[in-house]
Amino acid sequence: MLAFLAVAVAWAPSGARAGGEGFGPDDHAPDEGPAYFGFVKDERGAPVRDAKVSASYKTSLTLVTRTNATGGYKVRGFKKEISPSDVVITCAKEGYRQLRVLRRPPPKGKPVLSVETECRLQRE
């Protein structure tokens, strides 16, 4: 399985923060693929802070982060070779269940630099 993991992980950012703060000059690797970002909201559309967001590639490699105060998150570290369609975003928080995940289609005809996905939670 690591046969693909070895080519799946680009040098992951060390200083990244949920929501995108803290990306410094060290954070980009030439072989890195797009960033995955978005917001986690509740059923009324209010932001959910400190939700756990997982970006999983074929279940065997997962990057995990948490949302900031605005419900925002951002992760990167997958290599360019990884198709965004193979990366699944999920969100979770105690007392909630995942309602739905909505991925914004990337602009056509342009290289994909980032992939926006909104995740909705519902209180249990």
Partner 1 sequence: MPLSCRVRGSHIARLFPIVLAVAASAACAQATILRYGQAASAARSIFSLPVAVAEREGLFRREGLDFRIVIPIPGGSDKMIDALHDDTVDVTHVATPFLVRAALAGSDAVAIAAEFNNPVYSLVARPEIQRIADLKGKLVGLADPAGSITISMRKLLALHGVRESDIRVKILEGTPTRLNCLRRGECAAVPLGQPQDLLAQSEGYRLLGVSNDAVPEFLYTVTAARRSWAAANPDAVVRYVRALAAAFRIIRDPEKRGAVVKIIVETTGVPPAIAERTLALYFEPGRKVLPRQGEIDLAGLAQVIAFMGEAGQIKAPLPAPERFVDLRYLRLAGVR
Please give the residue ranges that form the binding site for partner 1 (CB under 8 A): 1-3, 5-7, 9-18, 22, 25-26, 29, 31, 52, 59-65, 75, 77
> Residues 119, 90: contact at Cβ < 8 Å?
yes
* Phi, then psi, of 51 in degrees rounded to 5: -80, 145
Q: Is residue 95 classed exposed, middle or buried when 0-12, 13-18 and 19+ CB atoms within 10 A define those classes?
A: exposed
Least separation in angstroms between residue 28's CB and partner 1 is: 10
Cβ distance to partner 1 smaller for residue 1 or 69: 1
Which is closer to partner 1, CB of 3 or CB of 109?
A: 3
Residue nearer to partner 1 on the CB measure, 51 or 120: 51
Provide, rounded to whole angstroms, the least separation between the CB of residue 107 and partner 1. Answer: 25
Q: Is 28 left (phi over 0), alpha (psi -120 to 50) or beta?
A: beta
What torsion, rounded to 10 degrees, do the Cα atoms 69, 87, 79, 50 define? 20
Nearest-approach distance from CB 108 to partner 1, in angstroms: 29
CB nearer to partner 1: pick between 26 and 43: 26
Helix (H, G, I), strand (E, B) or coil at 20: helix
CB of 42 to partner 1, least distance (A): 20
